Structure 1
């Protein structure tokens, strides 16, 4: 048996070399299987150490082929891997920020050590038509290498990946997805898609962080992370330059930690690499899983719309399509057939923008109508038809009055404005 253990130890070293990157949740990599931990005793006494291959891999045909070359194959085949001990470690950190987020991100990244044992993903709301200098700023601020995320790039620990402007970023199968998906919460990149895909594919290994910002992007995504067994961290609202986003996140999910941003690097250093309490965590809602599958796979427009939720009475502010109402924890969300998605606050903001656009369009149409009637009145007078000219002049005055009313409504800001939710 000692020789068999030597063979097994060599096999495990080979396995550890091919699992250096961050594998998805379906293959939770816990480094190396220790031969000394195998006990050929009754199943109730057989345990694997904290360092072990993923459970799914142990039961796969690939692992069977690996063991087939070793004399200890039959002994291992009798080991019940399904009940063995396998400990996942937290090694995926996702961070969302908006207004005031650059300063907070600089403080966060500056405090992380060079040997930080997790991959860090950053989604910052940016203008799609402006070049992002955030990677260069964060590279100067800290010790970790920072770059924009690249589609299909393997995920590596000890690196910071910044969402590309004008693109949605997701994580799946040990790689990064960068696609020009639909806007979510009025933004691209948005925070929720990154958080949801991390929750779906990495579960309890994820640490989600919401920093300074306006509105409530990231709240639903942080709820998904918490539901999947991950950790939820929120910057103290009073510490944030713009407290709305962390405050809204705190109402959507009970955070595990609420700290000033200056204290987050020390906390993350302690949490990263620590053992998650158990394999599996909670289960995501079916509608969240459907959304995540569509986002991560870059699939066609949502094909299972009816499974996302109930059809609402609202239309999409972006494409005028039907909106489905999704119950994400304590807050409602809306999503259309092609993938535009809104939280309660961003839906109200989008409706406000839509109302203002409609008012400006109405004002333009009324002013054009007034101008046309005045031209017709002048033309009628030149032809000697004073009665017709007077009629056009009176009508133009009425239209001008309507235009002034709409103009005053626009200038007074009497359109719908987002309000802070109480739930």
Structure 2
């Protein structure tokens, strides 16, 4: 792998396939770069993204294997349910803890590239919901790379580009169709634009290692930020808050990571799940009480049966109240609270 070669990392979510196709179509064959893509995927289905993109790409497109040597003019796509990470000269494909509720995580890819390749990295955020990619793009910028986002008006879902624009110093904001030509004209800086903070470099290395194989507590994640009263929705471990020039995010001692928006969205989802579980339990209790009352009637114990039926009515009423609460409840999300949503 030559020292002049660009490392281009791209992240997309909702609406991202269309953006990726448009970008890939515009890549010039002379571009001397290795390209890495995280598109949020369901972990339960085989990904056909390499086959889709190959129709439009001047370069080979594939899912890499763990440990593959990085080759120029090759596009690597994260496989389902695996983080795509970069280590000096090699691709890592790992099942470390989820970040922002996803595996693969855009932030994890961007952070690993910034840690290993500093000023040779170009980070690109495309169409998507919420804000995965913002923290990773911040790392790319702080460690000397270039940052690019899809013009929000050009994106099917503009939350990810808007979040990055709002919180990170962005070098280029252009439509996806213009990105390929622009990438071919970029001249990467010889050194970082800002003095590297040893703490930022060290944390990027630690978090890349956590995305690879977890073990966050032993690797010192509890020292990376300040303790909070919040717990991880995934494993219920304590969360530390990590601040990056106004960007606040969270990690637990097992390694799960969240932005504020992702954490809020996950907490809200768990609240709704708890409501449904409680409603089901009340319905089951009502059925069991009615069944017991019927058995008591058969045994000639009518007075006891009345007591059980009275309790069954109470459980049924409480279950209905919960159901009505769920059906009329307005769901709030990280997008509509943090503003990463297109205005009508």
**Structure 1 residue ranges, 4+ long, deviating more than 4 angstroms after superposition:** none
Answer whether contact 1:351 1:416 (CA < 8 A) is retained. no
Answer whether contact 2:97 2:210 (CA < 8 A) is retained. no
Where structure 2 has 5 or more consecutive residues not aligned to the other structure, the ranges are none
Match of residue 409 from structure 1: 325
Counterpart Cα distance in 1 of 2:163 and 2:256: 21
Counterpart Cα distance in 2 of 1:405 and 1:415: 17
Question: Offset at 1:186?
Answer: 0.9
Match of residue 268 from structure 2: 352
1:283 and 2:199 correspond: no
Match of residue 147 from structure 2: 232
Q: Select 1:323's aligned residue among 239, 259, 262.
A: 239
Match of residue 29 from structure 2: 114
Answer whether contact 1:209 1:233 (CA < 8 A) is retained. yes
Counterpart Cα distance in 1 of 2:92 and 2:143: 20
What's the secondary structure of 1:196's corresponding residue?
helix
1:307 and 2:307 correspond: no
Answer whether contact 1:356 1:415 (CA < 8 A) is retained. no
Answer whether contact 2:66 2:91 (CA < 8 A) is retained. yes
TM-score, normalization by structure 2: 0.93
What's the secondary structure of 2:316's corresponding residue?
helix
Question: Offset at 1:323?
Answer: 1.3
Match of residue 255 from structure 1: 170
Deviations 1:286-342 (A, max 9, x none): 43342124335x363432132121121111111111111111332211111111111
Answer whether contact 2:231 2:238 (CA < 8 A) is retained. yes
Answer whether contact 2:11 2:38 (CA < 8 A) is retained. yes
Answer whether contact 1:94 1:121 (CA < 8 A) is retained. yes
Counterpart Cα distance in 2 of 1:348 and 1:178: 28
Answer whether contact 2:134 2:164 (CA < 8 A) is retained. yes
The number of aligned residues is 335
Question: Offset at 1:388?
Answer: 1.4
Match of residue 38 from structure 2: 123
The 5 A counterparts of 1:6-405 are 21-22=1-2, 29=3, 89=4, 91-271=6-186, 274-278=187-191, 281-283=194-196, 285=200, 286-296=202-212, 298=213, 300-303=215-218, 304-405=220-321
C-alpha RMSD of the superposition: 1.8
| Cα pair distance change 1:279/1:235, threshold 3 Å | closer
Counterpart Cα distance in 2 of 1:302 and 1:175: 26
Counterpart Cα distance in 1 of 2:110 and 2:318: 47
Counterpart Cα distance in 2 of 1:269 and 1:127: 32
Counterpart Cα distance in 2 of 1:147 and 1:275: 26
Match of residue 10 from structure 1: none
Question: Offset at 1:265?
Answer: 1.0
Answer whether contact 1:287 1:326 (CA < 8 A) is retained. no
| Cα pair distance change 1:279/1:387, threshold 3 Å | closer
Question: Offset at 1:415?
Answer: 5.0
Counterpart Cα distance in 2 of 1:179 and 1:360: 34
| Greater RCO structure (CA 8 Å; 6+ sep) | 2
Deviations 1:167-196 (A, max 9, x none): 011101110110111111111111000000
Answer whether contact 1:123 1:190 (CA < 8 A) is retained. yes
Where structure 1 has 5 or more consecutive residues not aligned to the other structure, the ranges are 1-20, 23-28, 30-88
What's the secondary structure of 2:338's corresponding residue?
coil
Counterpart Cα distance in 2 of 1:90 and 1:282: 22
Counterpart Cα distance in 2 of 1:168 and 1:340: 13
